[in-house]
């Protein structure tokens, strides 16, 4: 018996179909070991010794694999054909050796770029040894990421409370996002005007020409700065005739783009399908495991000769011989530090059209079609375009020159199948079609458009454009792009809004801190040079520990230099670096750092238990505070005064002023001002979605009046109230909280509705603050084998799939409305294997557990009182990307 090990059960299932009964395929479920999240897992003092720990979920699987290997004739490691795949095979080998499962059995490593019968069987005929250089590159990368994350993160916790982690790649990616936001904030719009004329030929065909010369000077986009000059140009145009001075038709060939790499697939799937990078890789993984496409983590653009031949044959069959170029196209990667060991991402069989794969799920079908079209287009003939430029003279006292451009597609070539998406709008003139005209022809004016414009700041990064930028700079690799973006969102350093990456204040603080005190490690060139060294390790050119020593000697010294750094120094550096963001210039031109409350204090960043905020230097005499930014994206704070306060009116009952303010924990309402009798006036936080810039007095009074009495419960004759709490809007009766659907319902819910939701809550989960069973967002149907409905629900911690007593959380990138039965079954099966449906503890066991827990807590409390707290134990170390 031959034992084959792959990463995923889906891959194992597919390969099992291709191999005979002499083979048994096991799945490792990814990496089986990792560096423990604690200090000392990588020890620079012991020549960078690495302590690995087996994942708790992997222990039983490894025991089963070891048992099978002991009775086998041969072990075949068939993990993915990249650095991570090589590392998984190495880890498996190390674990099996430790378990003494191998003895003298032969161990072979096989790789295939596609999970097809021919590829798998051919790989089995050409086994090799584990690539030690690839493993060394993995070890170096993993050690570097660990050392940066576990050395730098504690510095952040001590000097910048509220920061979560830093990382070798994630911090540089975060800097890109923050730097772009800085550019947007300091951008000053520039006014300019355009003048365009609608002209008509003698054949009564119309087209538009733009002014390019005036008064003997060339006019570019920004050269008409104001309306005065624009009107001068308009006057000159109206004074004379129009004549075609010259026509130039220039043939142009447009070549197709290369087939997909990981980066370009993520970019194009974002632009054309609206997929996040994580969703793209998830769908591509399933297509790969089903044998539909080649391996999806690659930055190579080569295509195997047999696939090229099949692609060209398919083009000839479907589009005709003119669309097949004489020679097959071969591409070179332009990205910095690209590794071209693997093929581009392509269909395993180019002749299999998307229309013929009716069994694919919707997202798989869409992504497969994109990959298939891109491959075919990459081998099709170039498009032949005629680009025409028409120069026009306008008479009058001031000579004016105009130009019209357009193009005609003489042969569509690859454009008949595929046109690459664009992040920015393409030049409109390029797409214009010009009517037939002749040199010297007189034209008639049919309208002059004089328009005002303002330059716009650079656009925020999307996931696609950030990945493109990282690739251009040589930061990260195909396998890291998605995880890096996920870490930035999970750490609350950036948020994704309308597909744009917007840095949170927490992320900007971390970037400013690192740029001030660890500048070298967030520089783009430094990170790219380190990536080059890691690539040299994988090529066997340099020793991995030499790279680690060189890095660690400088890095540990730089970290040591911050040991005596005072928090006040950190804050002053951040005040300076983040000034345009946290201290925007007031409209009256005054000092942006002058306290608006006491007028004598100076505003500065402050660090609190829950992160950073702005406070007055005269604290505690002056207690003015506000959030970091006062110019929110949606104008939420823009309408507030310079002191962060907007008066809405007076409360008719008390005569006190009702104001909306911005504080360290967000916008809130306040009734009156502090007095000797009442030092803390009544306040109410604004619910999510309510804007401090648009809230009116009536809404504010309703919010300040909460909790609201709904009525008396008909069974108990006791009061039901409605309010907004930590977990959202609710109704409360006799200790039972039941959630309402929206904040608005708090102010309108009637007695019948309140009694109904309370009854549902009690029927679904008893009393107290616990949530009722969430309503089903979507019903997928009955389980095909076990029976019973499978539903998608929205729970406290996000949407999940439910079947009976098993709940499986949806991945972040999978919208609830897009979940299919197949996806749900996979998630439920995986959760069931992990123990998703645990039996309830008996009363006796529960009582015993509570007693044990109480004793343990008492003992721990006593121990804690005696123990001396450790400075670095504030929170567990976080993994870096």
Catalytic residue numbers, as ranges: 295
CA separation for the pair 375, 100 (Å, rounded): 47
Q: Does 162 sit behind a cis peptide bond, omega within 30 degrees of 0 on the bond before it?
A: no
Give yes or no for a contact between 792 and 824, defined as CB atoms under 8 angstroms apart.
Answer: yes
Of 265, 462, 467, nearest to 378 by C-alpha is 265
3-state secondary structure of 195: strand
- What DSSP character marks residue 727? T
Give yes or no for a contact between 757 and 738, defined as CB atoms under 8 angstroms apart.
Answer: yes
3-state secondary structure of 100: coil
Give yes or no for a contact between 597 and 575, defined as CB atoms under 8 angstroms apart.
Answer: no
254 pairs with which residues across the strands? 383
Angle at 486 between CA 480 and CA 487, to 5 degrees: 90
Residue 120, Cα to own-chain centre: how many angstroms?
34
Give yes or no for a contact between 501 and 177, defined as CB atoms under 8 angstroms apart.
Answer: yes
3-state secondary structure of 498: coil
CA separation for the pair 648, 701 (Å, rounded): 10
Give yes or no for a contact between 513 and 163, defined as CB atoms under 8 angstroms apart.
Answer: yes
CA separation for the pair 800, 798 (Å, rounded): 7
The dihedrals phi and psi of 403, each to the nearest 5 degrees, come to -140, 140
Residue 690, Cα to own-chain centre: how many angstroms?
26
CA separation for the pair 852, 836 (Å, rounded): 25
Give yes or no for a contact between 392 and 243, defined as CB atoms under 8 angstroms apart.
Answer: yes
Q: If you compute the radius of gyration of the chain from its CA atoms, what whole number of angstroms results? A: 33
Q: Does 620 sit behind a cis peptide bond, omega within 30 degrees of 0 on the bond before it?
A: yes
Give yes or no for a contact between 162 and 607, defined as CB atoms under 8 angstroms apart.
Answer: yes
- What DSSP character marks residue 674? -
Residue 322, Cα to own-chain centre: how many angstroms?
42
Residues 6+ apart with CB under 8 A from 357: 292, 365, 368
- What DSSP character marks residue 189? -
Length of the chain: 881
CA separation for the pair 714, 216 (Å, rounded): 88
For 39, 212, 638, 871, the CA distances from 555, given in Å and listed in that order, are: 16, 55, 42, 21
Give yes or no for a contact between 198 and 445, defined as CB atoms under 8 angstroms apart.
Answer: yes
Of 203, 260, 277, 194, nearest to 230 by C-alpha is 194
For 37, 141, 150, 683, the CA distances from 95, given in Å and listed in that order, are: 20, 21, 25, 59
Residue 404, burial from CB neighbour count under 10 angstroms (0-12, 13-18, 19+): buried
3-state secondary structure of 485: helix
Of 711, 770, 767, nearest to 735 by C-alpha is 767
- What DSSP character marks residue 303? -
CA separation for the pair 317, 120 (Å, rounded): 29
Give yes or no for a contact between 608 and 579, defined as CB atoms under 8 angstroms apart.
Answer: no
3-state secondary structure of 360: coil
For 155, 829, 855, 865, 871, the CA distances from 868, given in Å and listed in that order, are: 20, 46, 22, 8, 9
């Amino acid at each position: 018996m031959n034992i084959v090990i792959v990463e995923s059960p889906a891959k194992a299932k597919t390969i099992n179909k291709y191999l005979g009964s002499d083979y048994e395929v096991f799945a490792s479920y990814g990496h089986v070991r990792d560096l423990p999240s604690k200090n000392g897992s990588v020890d620079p003092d012991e020549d960078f010794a690495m302590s690995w720990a087996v994942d708790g979920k992997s222990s039983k699987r490894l025991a089963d694999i070891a048992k099978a290997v002991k009775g086998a004739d041969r072990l075949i490691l068939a993990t993915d054909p990249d650095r991570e795949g090589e590392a998984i095979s190495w880890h498996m080998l190390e674990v099996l050796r430790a378990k003494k499962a191998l003895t003298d059995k032969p161990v072979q490593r096989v790789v295939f770029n596609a999970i097809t019968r021919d590829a798998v069987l051919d790989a089995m005929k050409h086994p090799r040894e584990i690539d030690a250089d690839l493993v060394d590159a993995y070890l170096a990368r993993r050690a570097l990421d660990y050392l940066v994350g576990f050395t730098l993160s504690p510095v952040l916790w001590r000097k910048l409370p509220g920061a979560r982690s830093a990382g070798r790649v994630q911090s540089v990616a975060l800097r890109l996002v923050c730097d772009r936001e800085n550019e947007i904030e300091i951008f000053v719009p520039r006014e300019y005007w355009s003048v365009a004329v609608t002209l008509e030929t003698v054949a009564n065909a119309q087209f538009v020409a733009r002014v390019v010369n005036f008064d003997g000077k060339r006019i570019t986009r920004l050269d008409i700065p104001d309306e005065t000059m624009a009107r001068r140009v308009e006057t000159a145009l109206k004074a004379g005739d129009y004549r075609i001075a010259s026509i130039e038709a220039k043939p142009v060939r447009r070549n197709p783009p290369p087939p997909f790499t990981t980066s370009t697939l993520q970019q194009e799937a974002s632009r054309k399908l609206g997929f996040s990078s994580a969703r793209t890789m998830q769908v591509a993984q399933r297509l790969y495991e089903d044998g539909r496409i080649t391996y999806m983590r690659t930055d190579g653009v080569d295509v195997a000769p047999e696939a090229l031949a099949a692609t060209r044959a398919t083009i000839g069959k479907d589009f005709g011989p003119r669309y097949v170029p004489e020679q097959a196209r071969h591409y070179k990667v332009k990205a910095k530090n690209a590794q071209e060991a693997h093929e581009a991402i392509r269909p395993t069989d180019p002749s299999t059209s998307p229309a013929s794969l009716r069994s694919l799920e919707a997202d798989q079908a869409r992504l497969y079609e994109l990959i298939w079209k891109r491959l075919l287009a990459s081998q099709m003939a170039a498009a032949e375009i005629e680009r025409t430029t028409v120069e026009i003279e306008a008479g009058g006292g001031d000579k004016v020159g105009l130009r019209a451009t357009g193009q005609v597609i003489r042969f569509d070539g690859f454009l008949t199948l595929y046109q690459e998406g664009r992040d920015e709008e393409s030049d409109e003139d390029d797409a214009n079609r010009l009517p037939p005209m002749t040199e010297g022809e007189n034209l008639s004016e049919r309208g002059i458009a004089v328009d005002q414009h303002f330059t716009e700041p650079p656009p925020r990064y999307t996931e696609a454009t950030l990945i493109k930028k990282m690739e251009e700079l040589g930061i990260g690799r195909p396998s890291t792009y998605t995880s890096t973006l996920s870490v930035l969102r999970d750490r609350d350093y950036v948020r994704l809004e309308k597909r744009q990456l917007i840095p949170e204040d927490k992320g900007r603080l971390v970037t400013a801190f690192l740029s001030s005190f660890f500048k070298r490690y967030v520089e783009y060139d430094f990170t790219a040079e380190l990536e080059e060294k890691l690539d040299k390790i994988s090529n066997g050119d340099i020793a991995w520990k030499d790279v680690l020593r060189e890095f660690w000697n400088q890095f540990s010294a730089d970290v040591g230099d911050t040991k005596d750094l005072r928090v006040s120094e950190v804050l002053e550096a951040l005040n300076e670096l983040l000034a345009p963001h946290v201290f925007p210039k007031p409209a009256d031109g005054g000092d942006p750092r002058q306290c608006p409350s006491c007028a004598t204090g100076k505003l500065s960043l402050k660090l609190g238990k829950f992160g950073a905020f702005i406070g007055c230097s005269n604290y505690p005499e002056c207690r003015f505070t506000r959030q970091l930014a006062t110019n929110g994206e949606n104008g939420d704070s823009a309408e507030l005064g310079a002191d962060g306060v907007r008066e809405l009116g007076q409360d008719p009952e008390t005569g006190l002023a009702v104001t909306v303010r911005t504080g360290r924990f967000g916008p809130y309402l306040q009734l009156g001002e502090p007095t000797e009798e009442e030092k803390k006036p009544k306040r109410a936080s604004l619910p999510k979605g309510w804007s401090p810039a648009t809230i009116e007095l009536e809404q504010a009074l309703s919010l300040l009046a909460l909790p609201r009495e709904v009525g008396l419960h008909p069974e108990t004759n006791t009061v039901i109230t409605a309010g907004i709490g930590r977990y959202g809007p609710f109704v409360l009766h006799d200790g039972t909280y039941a959630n309402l659907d929206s904040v608005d319902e708090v102010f309108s819910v009637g007695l019948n509705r309140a009694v109904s939701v309370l009854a549902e809550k009690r029927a679904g989960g008893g009393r107290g603050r616990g949530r009722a069973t969430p309503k089903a967002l979507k019903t997928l149907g009955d389980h095909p084998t076990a029976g019973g409905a499978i539903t998608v629900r929205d729970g406290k911690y996000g949407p999940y799939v439910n079947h009976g007593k098993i709940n499986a959380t949806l991945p972040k990138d999978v919208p609830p409305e897009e979940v299919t039965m197949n996806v749900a079954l996979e998630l439920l099966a995986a959760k069931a294997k992990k123990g998703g449906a645990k039996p309830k503890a008996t009363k006796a066991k529960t009582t015993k557990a509570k007693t044990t827990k109480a004793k343990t807590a008492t003992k721990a409390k006593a121990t804690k009182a005696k123990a001396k707290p450790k400075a670095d134990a504030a929170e567990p170390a976080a993994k870096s990307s």
